[in-house]
């Protein structure tokens, strides 16, 4: 496409004081005549590009304009090229991000290109938890289009009780929380967050909605997350944990060392007492409850109830 070629041409011109039409034509796999037409198109669009005749001539950008891209510091380049685009891949944009970075890298100096390669090869971000199921990519692509086009959605949504209801919503944004995607939408009851993996079906409506210009997705999500944290009952226990179990526990619940010199003793903050009992039974011999000791009676009762249920089933 011509627009892609113009972007590539612009980045190539930014990476050197001047380039010949032959050099540009070879790299972009077009004729020199096409290069001159593209230069005219860039000039008409307001970009300060010009040609110089003679043995040392070529096609160049005005110096101040050309240096704009070259002013990326190495740390800024690294921030752009750190590996890991799972979130964009979920939305169907991973390939677009890769192409955009390649175009950008084509305009970098040699020093900047080395910084980009180093960032890509040394840091990788993976926001998914272990054994987490893959997100519904096709569903997310549909939701992304609806969000960008301000197009009303018809949803079939399954709640925590596994009841599915039909809803008409105005999709305002998508949020990824620890690899779990949420659709933030306006409903007759106000703004709501819907887990994307609970959306059983979604269809774009022909009807568009008027977006509230005052709505701020980042601020809305911060306030929602804060209200959930404040509303949750926190229940803290002190445990002795085996080394093999620590990563699993710390990956799901806020955990802190009681004494840094003894990494086996930790405090774990659960949402509530019931969650604490259930997980302590689940973790079994991997942990020992140190505090509160009164919780031991509930753990024993819970374990006995499980034993009685399965012993009864085995004998029947």
Q: Residue 266 class from Cβ within 10 Å (0-12 exposed, 13-18 middle, 19+ buried)?
A: buried
Q: Do 102 and 60 contact (CB within 8 A), yes or no?
A: no
Q: What is the pLDDT of residue 316?
A: 53
Classify residue 272 by its DSSP letter: S
Residue ranges and CATH numbers for the domains of the chain are 2-122 (1.10.10.10), 137-230 (2.30.30.520), 235-315 (3.30.70)
Overall pTM > 0.75: no
CA 95 remoteness from chain centre: 15
Give the whole-angstrom CA distance, residue 70 versus residue 83: 22
Q: State both tokens at 188.
A: 């007759």
Nearest to 27 by CA among 40, 15, 45: 15
- Residue position matching structure tokens 């955990």: 255
* Exposure class string for 91-117: b at 16+ Cβ within 10 A, else e: bebeeeeeeeeeebbbbbeeebbebbe
pLDDT of residue 115: 83
What are the pLDDT digits (tens) for 248-261? 788 778 888 998 88
How far is it, in rounded angstroms, from Cα 164 to Cα 170? 19
Question: In this predicted structure, what is the pLDDT of residue 211?
Answer: 94
**What pLDDT is stored for residue 83 in this prediction?**
65
φ, ψ dihedrals at 244, nearest 5°: -65, -25
9: Cβ contacts below 8 Å, ≥ 6 apart: 24, 28, 35, 38, 39, 42
Which residue numbers in the chain have pLDDT < 50?
none
> Which residue blocks in the chain are alpha helix, DSSP H?
2-14, 21-28, 32-44, 63-70, 74-81, 86-90, 94-106, 110-122, 137-149, 217-231, 243-250, 273-283, 295-315
Residue 172: the pLDDT is: 97
Let me know: does 97 contact 85? Beta carbons within 8 Å: yes
Beta pairing, strands 287-291 & 262-270: unpaired
């Amino acid at each position: 496409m011509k627009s892609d070629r113009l972007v590539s041409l612009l980045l190539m011109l930014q990476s050197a004081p001047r380039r010949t039409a032959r050099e540009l034509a070879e790299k972009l796999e077009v004729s020199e005549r096409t290069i001159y037409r593209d230069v005219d198109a860039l000039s008409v669009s307001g970009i300060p590009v010009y040609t110089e005749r003679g043995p040392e001539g070529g096609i160049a950008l005005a110096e101040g304009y050309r240096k704009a891209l070259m002013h990326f510091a190495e740390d800024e380049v690294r921030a752009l090229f750190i590996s890991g685009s799972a979130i964009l891949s979920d939305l169907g944009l991973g390939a677009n991000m890769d192409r955009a970075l390649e175009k950008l890298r084509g305009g970098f100096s040699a020093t900047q290109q080395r910084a980009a390669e180093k960032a890509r090869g040394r840091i990788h971000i993976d926001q998914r938890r272990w054994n987490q199921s893959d997100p519904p990519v096709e569903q997310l692509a549909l939701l992304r289009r609806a969000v960008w086009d301000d197009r009303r959605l018809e949803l079939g949504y399954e709640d925590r009780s596994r009841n599915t209801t039909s809803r008409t919503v105005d999709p305002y944004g998508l949020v990824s929380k620890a690899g779990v995607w949420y659709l933030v939408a306006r409903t007759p009851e106000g703004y709501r967050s819907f887990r994307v993996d609970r959306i059983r079906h979604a269809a774009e409506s022909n009807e568009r909605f008027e977006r509230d210009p005052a709505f701020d997705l980042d601020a809305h999500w911060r306030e929602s997350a804060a209200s959930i944290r404040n509303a949750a009952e926190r229940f803290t226990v002190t445990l002795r944990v085996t080394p093999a179990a620590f990563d699993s526990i710390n990956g799901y619940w806020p955990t802190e060392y009681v004494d840094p010199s003894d990494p086996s003793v930790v405090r774990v903050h659960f949402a509530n007492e019931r969650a604490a009992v259930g997980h302590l039974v689940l973790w079994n011999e991997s942990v020992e409850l140190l505090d509160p000791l009164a919780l031991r009676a509930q753990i024993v009762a819970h374990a006995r109830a499980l034993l009685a249920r399965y012993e009864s089933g085995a004998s029947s």
